Amino acid sequence: MKKEDAVLKINKLKETLNDYSYRYYVLDDPTVSDAEYDELYRELVSIEKEFPELITSDSPTQRVGDKVLEGFEKFTHNVPLQSLDNVFSEDEVLEFCNKIAQDLGHMPEFVVEKKIDGLSVAVTYENGIMTIGATRGDGVTGEEVTQNLKTIKSLPLKLKESLPKIVVRGEVFMSKSTFESLNEKQELSGLPTFANPRNAAAGSLRQLDSSLAASRGLDIFVFNMQEIQGKEIYTHSQSLEVLSSLGFKVSPGYKVCKTPSDVWDAICEIGENRPGLSYDIDGAVIKVNDFKDREVLGETSKFPKWATAYKFPAEKKFTRLLDIEINVGRTGILAPLAILEPVHLAGSTISKATLHNMDYINDKDILIGDMVQVMKAGDVIPAIVKADTDSRESDGIERVKFRMPDVCPVCGGEVTRPEGEAAYRCVNINCPAQVFRGIVHFAERDAMNIDGMGPQVVNQLMDANLVKSISDIYDLPGKMDQLSSLERMGEKSAANLIQAIEKSKQNELYRVIYGLGIRQVGVKASKDLARYFGSIKAISEAEVDELVNIPDFGLITAQSVYEFFRSKKNLEMIDRLNKAGVTMEETKDSVNGEDTRFSGMTFVLTGTLPTLKRSEAQAMIEKFGGKCSGSVSAKTTYVLAGEEAGSKLTKAQSLGIKIISEEDLLNMLK
């Protein structure tokens, strides 16, 4: 075959195959058999093999690459992928609609769509060709997953119209039937099963091997235009029509509503049809239709004001409580875990649920063998609501009252219940379960932020005897060969982990304190300790009466800090961290040199600020020695109030506390 003939044939085959895929995966209206499609596909593969220089990114053969990535690159979204605020009742839905009408001076049209329970992504097309795709991440920075997105057959590689540029947002999901089949395969292969379709979709999209991602049968609904060049779009409903005409599988069954009652009716209809859907949804999304109205309404630092998500009430079901197991936490707490007869609930099969503590079990009168009502708190965490005590006499099942063990189920150490606490604890600080969770906590984002050192890696490191305590982490840079030989690690991942460990040595002092895992000490208390004492050495030498003088430090927290630094094992660990080069003192940068102009002042932040996020304003205040509190009291120095400030502003006014704006704060910092 001549090259010019090959060009014509390839273009014809690509056009035909892409059209067949569109009809099959988007329209659900196949026009040819699988055998006919496969025959044309093999023909295309054959020609491209003969003329590899003619292979283009929009070819159906390029949906599955043969390259395994070493990792995902960070990707910054030009237009942020914002999250939505939530409403939970009819009254809140109507209030949302009516407030928008009040702000605009007229009742706008709304679009109501299903809220697909998946993973949000943005995909860019240039001149009609897919060029890059990325996960949402934190809304500003995600991960590039182009190769894996190309494996989704309902996502076009080439648009039906060549626009200069368009960026679309969609939700990657896995159908219920695909999810069930995947878990069956996992079980047969002796591999862990996935908790629900959303987790399965998210895990599949982040596979470094795109052929594995392709085998998972992912799908996508596109629901938004982030950017577009070459067309004028005036409403959201128009944008969905254009997206559909370009070849995208758009969010199905959306409705344009003219009144708040129409909006609620559309939500109710989605809820009624929810059980029959082939995919999971967790609510409905309400959006103002007209883009000009959206511009008038604007957005907060977190959410657009022109949209919200209605979340369905948590689904509840009864199932049998088969047993209660014990998990041992980072601080030695013995946490009871319910083992349930598996039940399908809110899109996933539940076989375990939290029971909090012994008081919770006693208060709810829960016995092993009971029928118990289970729900997903926030549609995420399974929890037991109540026991069906009426069925105890009639079902003939033996019940057993649960009792906390006298010894730790992990290490056999003594178990005690400190006076005034609900929790039982293992007193053995060398308990493997505590050590594991302590190391995981130390590496977490809010602590030392050691990227690449999650629970799975920590497990591997402990199994290989490379890490037995927090301080062992800083010996890892000298063990490159052993690290790179771990399963799924490799030289590149090992080098990245070592780099993250070295970088963590320069972290602020409060991160080190928080990472130590002192009971009762969270991020805020860690910052207070760092600012008040300035060094680990000073904290370790402090008496309880000194610690209790820190604002917002109670006696229990002070005693917990005092006892932590009286442990010989803890002091040895801190000494090793110090010798490894981990920060042990508050640096000048952390307190802005000698400028502590806000020292002794307490700020309360409320409402939405014009340009700053509240976290940014808080960081500025703390940088200059100030303290931020979550509640207004007579000790509050200033209340920094933004738009839609609520009860905190009212209380401050009643107490005569000075109210300042963002502009006032910035002037104070000049």
Beta carbons within 8 Å of 191's beta carbon, 6+ residues apart: none
- Structural tokens at position 663: 């502009």
Give the C-alpha separation, 491 to 342, whole Å: 41
- Structural tokens at position 251: 């969010």
Supply the residues annotated as catalytic: 115
CB of 84 closer than 8 Å to CB of 304: yes
In SS3 terms, 153-190 reads as CCCCCECCCCCCEEEEEEEEECCHHHHHHHHHHHHHCC
For 380-416, the DSSP string reads: TEEEEEEE-GGGGTTS----B-----SB-TTT--BEE
Between strands 638-641 and 602-606, the pairing is parallel
The secondary structure element, H or E, covering residue 285 is: strand 281-288
Give residue for tokens 């069954």. 253
Backbone CA torsion sign across 485, 490, 494, 495: positive
Between strands 415-416 and 219-229, the pairing is unpaired
Backbone CA torsion sign across 49, 55, 57, 61: negative
Beta carbons within 8 Å of 447's beta carbon, 6+ residues apart: 441, 511, 514, 515
Buried b (16+ CB within 10 A) or exposed e, 292-315: ebbeebeebeebbbbbbbbbbebe
